[in-house]
């Protein structure tokens, strides 16, 4: 009983960390349907959770041309670290992002989904470009 209470508490703490993270944290099925969308994702992409959960617009978070390879790798249990790409916000504005995609496993260890953590690196890329232009 104490172990279950501790586990429930840890899940609650984890949920709080995800919800209040500045990074966009998105959960998907292996075929790309969005299952979770935190407040950081709302700020980064401009879509509310209500607009995307249960739908298949995973291309919002990962470019369509890279999606098959990334989902295949995650399906094999691999993690894709710090993939730099350009995303598009709901308002059409392009953003430079660093994305890490990791497998989500069930209790038996089978990969059942993917989580992506994305960070806006637009200002970083602009600063790099300004330094190169000097």
Residue 81: Cβ within 10 Å count: 10
- Considering the chain, what percentage of its residues have pLDDT values greater than 70? 82
Using DSSP, state whether 9 is helix, strand or coil.
helix
pLDDT for 8? 57
Q: What are phi and psi of 129, to 5 degrees?
A: -65, -40
* Cβ-based neighbour number of residue 90 at 10 Å: 13
| Two tokens, residue 47 | 């879509």
Confidence of residue 13 (pLDDT cuts 50, 70, 90): very low
- pLDDT reported for residue 68: 84
Q: Give the residue from 99, 102, 94 showing the smallest Cα distance to 122.
A: 94
Query: Considering the domain 2-133 in this protein, what is its CATH number?
Result: 3.30.450.20
pTM, two decimal places: 0.79
Domain ranges of the chain: 2-133
Q: What average pLDDT does range 75-89 have in this prediction?
A: 92
Strands in 10-122 per DSSP E: 24-29, 34-37, 80-88, 94-105, 111-120
């Amino acid at each position: 009983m104490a172990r279950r209470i501790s586990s429930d508490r840890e899940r609650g703490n984890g949920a709080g960390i995800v919800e209040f993270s500045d990074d966009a944290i998105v959960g998907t099925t292996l075929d790309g349907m969005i299952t979770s969308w935190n407040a950081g994702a709302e700020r980064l992409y401009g879509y509310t959770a209500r607009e995307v959960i249960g739908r298949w617009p995973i291309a919002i978070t990962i470019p369509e041309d890279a999606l098959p390879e990334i989902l295949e790798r995650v399906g094999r249990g691999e993690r894709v670290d710090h993939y730099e790409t350009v995303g598009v916000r709901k308002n059409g504005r392009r953003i430079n992002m660093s994305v890490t995609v990791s497998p989500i496993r069930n209790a038996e260890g089978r990969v059942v989904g993917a989580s992506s953590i994305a960070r806006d690196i637009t200002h970083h890329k602009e600063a790099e470009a300004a330094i190169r232009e000097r």
